[in-house]
Amino acid sequence: MNIIKLPLRVPVLVWNVLTTTFFWTTTMRMLLKPEISGWGIFNFGGEGLKGDYWLPPLIVFLALLVFYLEGRGKFRTIYHIMIISWNLLITGAVVYGNFHSSTQVSFDTWGVNISFIWLLVPFILFLILTVALVVQEKNGKHLIPCYEWSKINWKPLVIAILLFPVALLFFRLGEGFNWLIKIAVGATIIQWILLTEVLGRPYKKK
């Protein structure tokens, strides 16, 4: 199949991988290291199987569904609604956070705290780019990926599966948020990138 790549497709999809990574790493911490799996997003939060534990896995499932639909070319309207809704939701959350001066985005694993003001521009920018990408597709000016429903990319899937025992080992050996835990979380980040590749790009690179 000859695919004409959209200029906006790659950056928009990379952005959506980035903005959903937190929910995969949180899900893995909930399963493999519950004692350091505390998380919170405004009025939602939890630790292990306490609190709103269902939210991160749900977002992971929906995100994988978005990447799966994107690579199949079918049910395009559903895909468009889902990807725009996600970007509207997270951008709205960032805008909301900017009205609360004491609120910051914290990544305890890495010891990083970011003010919402620094996130405002990129989130708005990629929301605009996402809408622009959908408009381009709706105008029918470009071909879009259209792979069989059963087709997946096996190589990254195997690597992602092999990373599970690696992450488990380092989670078990680590304490708090030391360097062993950082390696474990890093492994789960790579896992997420690979899993989106498995479903969203089900073809072999030449």
The predicted-structure confidence for 41-51, as pLDDT tens digits, reads as follows 878 889 888 88
Q: Where are the domains of the chain?
A: 9-150
Mean pLDDT of 123-143: 89
Class of residue 43 by CB neighbours under 10 A (exposed 0-12, middle 13-18, buried 19+):
exposed
Mean pLDDT of 155-174: 95
Let me know: does 15 contact 63? Beta carbons within 8 Å. Answer: no
Q: What's the Cα-to-Cα distance from 19 to each of 25, 62, 90, 169, 193, rounded to whole Å?
A: 12, 13, 8, 26, 11
52-81 pLDDT, tens digit per residue, is 999 999 999 999 999 999 988 889 999 999
Cβ partners under 8 Å of residue 83, min gap 6: 12, 16, 66, 70, 130, 134
| pLDDT at residue 101 in the model | 59
Q: What's the Cα-to-Cα distance from 144 to each of 18, 70, 126, 127, 135, rounded to whole Å?
A: 22, 9, 20, 20, 13
Q: Is the pLDDT of residue 3 over 50?
A: no
| pLDDT at residue 203 in the model | 62
Mean pLDDT of 107-114: 78
Please state the pTM of the whole predicted model.
Answer: 0.88
